[in-house]
Amino acid sequence: MSREERWLIAVTAGRWQKHGIREAKKAGIKILAIDSDPNAEGFTEADQTLCMNFADHGLVIDALKKFNIVFSGAVSFCSEVGMMLAANIREAFDLPGPRRELCEKLLDKAVQRNIWKEKNVPGPSMYKLFHNASGTVEELKKFDLPFIIKPIDSSGSRGVAKIESVTDDLVAVVTNAFRFSTSGKIIAESYMDGTEFTVEVFVVTGKVYVLAVTEKKKVAGTRGTVAKELATPDRPKNSIQKIEQAVIDAFTALGYTDGPGHAEIILMKDDSVGVVEVAGRGGGFMVFDKLVPCASGINIARLTALQAVGLPVEEIKIKTAAVVLRFFPSSPGVLQAISGFDAANLIKGVEAAPFVELGERFDKAKADGDRLGYILSTAATPAEAQQLADEAESKIFFDIKDIQ
């Protein structure tokens, strides 16, 4: 079968999936894109589209069969919500890539914890799974402070909370965590005190290639749960190697052998590490489509598409650069004006753009999606990348007024 005859099912087709769809098309692969939103941005790039609710995977698969297309693969480029549907589609059509059992490991944070404990992958000293709200608050009162509560199957910091004091409203936090869990389960785990890093990988026949390591900065007032910047760290080589090895061990322990991967990990104050979670997809919010190619020279979207339809991927030769991906977190009010992006984009090594439009109303940032725009800078060193981002940020202004 020639490359031009290969069809890839792209599960979800929103803003962050559009780049993957476009790169697959450039590689000569035809795309059938699935999304529940009739205005999904990726639909404009696809050869065929299917707009329907994801709740019943069987109905989606039945609808796909009516296209009378010989599919070669299915992928969720960087969407957590699309991963299990993609796995079920692979099983239904006998396509390459992770099946349901592996995807459950890549999605369920409690399952990950259990496997990593058996395989001696470092993580929190204590954790516990809760299946319903009944009795959960009383059990959590027994936890040593501080600790983290989160859904076992959400992304983008949705439903995540850090409990620091006995005066914290556990009822509200538990209710919110269950609200964001599609499976109705949450996990509480001891807090790993240190600095959070993200790690982006691509896995080929079991070999994990680390493409980017970034250090996170958090939005003030969110108790360290919402990120405002990802940047190449200026840290000792030994510390970075510990981070990379822990992530490699984490993916290997789960049996993930092919595909893109995103991980979050803590470098603690004693220079030990602890894995927070991993996912068998690319990072969202411009990590997959922008940050990884800038940091590594690797077109991870193209490789993901080729691999998903069973085609060989090019040799991976990483060309390391320093990057800063900085976001503008939302604040309460209505957006009146935006300025400075044109000037910021004139700076060599800088790309910047807003996510929002005039007249939109915002609340304070509570999750990673609560962002107004971004700056991406690329340079030879972390310090130079930071200088470029600072220069760009000084030119950009969002005028938000709290209109009652």
What's residue 142's pLDDT?
Answer: 84
Nearest to 95 by CA among 76, 75, 67: 75
- Flag whether pLDDT at 81 surpasses 60: yes
Residues 40-52 pLDDT 10s: 999 999 999 999 9
Mean pLDDT of 237-259: 97
Which segments of the chain belong to CATH 3.40.50.20? 3-105
Nearest to 128 by CA among 95, 156, 150: 150
Any residues with CB less than 8 A from the CB of 269 and at least 6 apart, and which? 193, 194
Which segments of the chain belong to CATH 3.30.1490.20? 124-190
Question: DSSP assignment of 180-207, as one string?
Answer: T-TTS-EEEEE---EEEEEEEEEEETTE
CATH number for the region 321-404 comes to 3.90.1170.30
The CB-side HSE value for 400 (13 A sphere, CA atoms) comes to 19
Instruction: Indicate the pTM of the whole model.
Output: 0.89
Please tell me the distance from the alpha carbon of residue 247 to that of residue 158, in angstroms, as a whole number: 22
Question: The domain at 124-190 falls in which architecture?
Answer: 2-Layer Sandwich (3.30)
Mean pLDDT of 218-230: 72
Residue 1 — very low, low, confident or very high, per pLDDT cuts 50/70/90?
very low
Mean pLDDT of 340-353: 97
CATH number for the region 3-105 comes to 3.40.50.20
How does strand 273-279 pair with strand 259-268? antiparallel
Residues 264-315 pLDDT 10s: 999 998 999 999 999 999 998 889 999 999 999 999 999 999 999 999 998 9
What's residue 2's pLDDT?
Answer: 43
Residues 162-215 pLDDT 10s: 898 877 888 888 888 888 888 888 999 999 999 999 999 999 999 999 999 999
